[in-house]
Structure 1
Amino acid sequence: MAKQLPKEYYVKLEAIQAIDFVIYELVLYLDTHQDDAQAIQQYNYYAAYSNRLKTDFEACYGPLRFGMPVQEQPPWAWAEAPWPWQV
């Protein structure tokens, strides 16, 4: 059975997904509008915001990204975290 997660987990994860969607859309736009300074500024703002959201999420719920430091002692454990399809 899947581990029960607090509502805040889903709220934070949805915020990350929404901001990352904005970033992906800006990347697609910037592929054809490389000289748009306002879009570049927006991209940099949202990329930094996404990083802050992910750092906060990881502090509460464990690793979300590859290559990030993790705790060496319990309570961190991959097997105890929900799988992506369980979220």
Structure 2
Amino acid sequence: MAENKISKKELLQSIDQVSFAIDDLLLFLDTHPCEKRALDYYGELSLRRNELLEKYAGLYGPLTIDTGNDSCLNSWQWMEQPFPWEQEGGCR
């Protein structure tokens, strides 16, 4: 069975969408800190975002320091990859 491939652009878009939803939900939780459904949904979204960030890091390199693999580094690889906006279709 072939693995479902997702493009770099699609993966970044998914990360952006989940991140936006989390930010919006955090604003709600600022005023409704005991709302169980919102807290549960935050947990789901947070898990999904972490999965997407790890998938992106495995395919294209880390977007955040949290997904950088520091176990076997011979150099600071964080800066060796182009920034997302330097990619095709970016701001340049």
TM-score w.r.t. the length of structure 1 is 0.77
Q: Which amino acid aligns with 2:17?
A: A
CA RMSD of aligned residues (A): 2.2
Matched, 1:14 2:10: no
Structure 1: unaligned runs, 5 residues or longer: 1-6
Ranges in structure 2 where 5+ consecutive residues have no aligned partner: 1-5, 88-92
Q: TM-score, normalised by structure 2?
A: 0.74
Detail structure 1 runs of 4+ shifted over 4 Å in the superposition: none
Which of the pair has the greater relative contact order for Cα pairs under 8 Å at 6+ separation? 1
User: Between Structure 1 and Structure 2, how many residues are aligned?
Assistant: 79
What percent of counterpart residues are identical? 27
Alignment of 1:21-40 (within 5 A): 21-40=20-39
Q: How far does residue 73 in structure 1 lie from its aligned partner after superposition?
A: 5.9
